[in-house]
Amino acid sequence: MASTNGNESTADFVRNSRIRLNLTQEELAETLGFERRSIMRFERGAFLPTYVRLALECLLMKQQQKKQRAKERAAHKQKERSEQSRQSPS
pLDDT of residue 29: 93
DSSP code of 88? Answer: S
φ, ψ at 68 (rounded to 5°): -65, -45
| pLDDT tens, position by position, 20-78 | 999 999 999 999 899 999 999 999 988 888 888 888 999 999 999 999 999 999 999 99
Sign of the torsion formed by the C-alpha atoms of 77, 78, 84 and 87: negative
Whole-model pTM over 0.85: no
